[in-house]
Amino acid sequence: MAEFTMELNDEQKEVRDWLHGFAADVIRPAAAEWDEREETPWPVIQEAAKIGIYSLDFYAQQYFDPTGLGIPMAMEELFWGDAGIALSIVGTGLAAVGVLANGTEEQIGTWIPQMYGDANDVKVAAFCSSEPDAGSDVASMRTRAVYDEAKDEWVIDGTKTWATNGGIANVHVVVAVVDPELGSKGHASFIVPPGTPGLAQGQKFKKHGIRASHTAEVILDNVRVPGSCLLGGKEKLDQRLARARERAKAGGVGVPPLERSRESERVKNAAMATFEASRPAVGAMAVGTARAAYEVALDYARTREQFGRPIIDNQGVAFQLADMRTSIDAARLLVWRASWMAINGRPFTAAEGSMSKLFASETAKKVTAQAVQILGGNGYTREYPVERMHRDSAIYTIFEGTSEIQRLVIARTLAGMPIR
């Protein structure tokens, strides 16, 4: 187990500086243009692919960093450049992680390379889970997958929403209900290969922020995929569903309450460990955006003069900057702690993953708003980047679990209550 440290080693510093250079030299100069265009920045993704940033190998190296700091460090630097473009670069990772977590070795080797393509022909992938009536409430999911045994095919019908890269992806990973009676335990994930009939892009959302990242509905109308596209395979799914049915029966009449409680707690802890481990990465994205806005505001306050002196000499401005920096550093520490705990298998006894995501997300919203205020009228214009950063920051308190959901998770964990 790696010791928790707040110091990056030489290798990590080298990677950080490399990412920062790419963010400063490639992402930032393109940020305003692609925000205005509200289109996927394919040229920037291609540049990231050419130097190895847009690749599974790069993210795998950071993920398996024994200190746990590889991923949050990478996310902070890329999102310091621009949130919309950075999300277009890392968004494919959501689908790739879905395959890595649930797929067989053959599925991993077959589909993940097709998600990224190569530097000459970059591709993207989409992870499709949320639905119009099932966001945080995953048990309300309606997209159905029915097995056609005669043809060894799965038939998928439904509508997904808020899908990053939805409709433009080369490969879609779709979560669907295979046994409605089991609620969220009756879900499975499927690969939808390129060009599969019946999959279409629905509404493309015109968003308040992160506008360089493509977000759309995905319509699945009688989509047929081979049995081999069920992540993990049919045998593994059947075994998992059988266990879930047995647990459901065990929770019925005649089972002692204490035994039911222990089983519920075991299932809850397993699910919590999965969700909690992914949340610090989103927190790191928020830290990157907050830091970017703070640095713009600090530079502006040092150089902008009013009444014959820099505005940072005014206590009202200086105190805001002090609070901004303090909150950013506190958010980063929460993110790093949770990331270290996750990679080292430490239990999240106080929902530390949700804590990091909650605090960092709220910090990004507050800090970017303060940056706009410090720049005054200039901050409200698109001539300065804090206006865009402020718009981008709103997403962190919404996606990957709203701030309200994070507070619910934290509160229920502290109270020893099940997470529903």
Which positions are annotated as active-site residues? 400
Three-state DSSP at 68 gives coil
* Through-space distance between the first and last CA atoms of the chain, rounded to whole angstroms: 32
Show the tokens assigned to 156.
Answer: 């998928």
CA distance linking residue 303 with residue 322, whole number of Å = 17
Q: What is the dihedral sign for C-alpha 132, 133, 135, 139?
A: negative
Ranges of beta strands (E only) in 34-83 are: none
- CA 135 to CA 300: how far, in whole Å? 40
Contact indicator for 229, 192 with CB cutoff of 8 Å: yes
CA 133, 135, 140, 142 torsion-angle sign: positive
Paired tokens of 399: 């996606």
284 membership: H or E segment, kind and range:
helix 257-303
Query: Which distant-in-sequence residues (6+ apart) come within 8 Å of 156 by Cβ?
Result: 143, 144, 145, 174, 176, 190, 192, 198, 220, 223, 224, 225
Q: What residues does 171 pair with on adjacent strands?
A: 125
Query: What whole-number distance in Å separates Cα of residue 198 and Cα of residue 223?
Result: 5
